[in-house]
A and B are shown apart, each in its own frame.
Chain A
Amino acid sequence: MKLYRVFYNTHQYRDMSDKPRRASRLVPALSEDDATDRLRAVRDVEQDRCKPLFGMRYIGIVHSAVPATPSGKASE
């Protein structure tokens, strides 16, 4: 697995009638395409959870994935 940041649109309303906002998430995946597919795969599951969880927004269009690099600032 590698680490990717996947960019997508979020919406306040389930029917996505509002103006989308750009968002991104970190996704462990095998490739860029796999990363976007993984986010699409959980979209329907998450939609069901959105309402009870404050602050969550619906996932709209999933755009692209780029490799993400950990900062490495781990040691305390």
Chain B
Amino acid sequence: MPLLEARKIRKSFGGLQALSEVSLAIEPGEIYGLIGPNGAGKTTLFNVLTGLYKPDAGAVVFNGIELTGKKPNLVVEAGVARTFQNIRLFANMTAMENVMVGRHLRARAGALGAVLRDRATLAEEAAIRRRAHELLEYVGVARHAHALAKNLAYGDQRRLEIARALATDPKLLALDEPAAGMNATETASLRGLLEQIRADGITILLIEHDVKLVMGLCDRVAVLDYGKKIAEGAPAKVQCDPAVIEAYLGGALP
């Protein structure tokens, strides 16, 4: 059974058909790439899968639970965590606090507990801190734990966003262009991090423009063009698909 399944997703904005009948199935434990030219509908599909957009038609099923049209917080609760293409950290909170917010939904303390600081609340708070610090170390930004998120270097912000998403204990981590704006060295070390995350049992859905990263990292790739899935399969196979070449280069080769 696939971990995440999208069935015939349709979504339009006014007259623009952003997604038409897109289906895909992500198997547990794989790294699944989603590529396509600019404006192909990758981020739209991403937003549908993570609950930010409601699809016009179609269904999203995760781990046997129907998630279609559910609010983003319920999607995260079910186990799909995401990052954003244009980094959306809590800029005026520290790196540590950002990750601690990610633990929000796996903790219970309410307003009363916060005021009384009973034993259960204190224990929970300590556990949140411990886990947040572990995750900062895991992605390699622990040395900036107490710096405000907005003051972190660009690459560290990307990593912090991954740590924050991991804090929600996801089964599936959805990354929207995590390597955007990174140089070759940073991309290589990001690749190491993603492989580590997969090795730790988390399935990854990856939108990426960096073809080298996608081809080297992903087990399977789907290609979107004008809101339609035009190819799917192993990277090497997809790379040679005439429809893909046409989508990227425009027109058939003579």
The yes or no verdict on A and B being binding partners is no
Which residues in A have some Cβ–Cβ distance to B below 8 Å? none
Which residues in B have some Cβ–Cβ distance to A below 8 Å? none
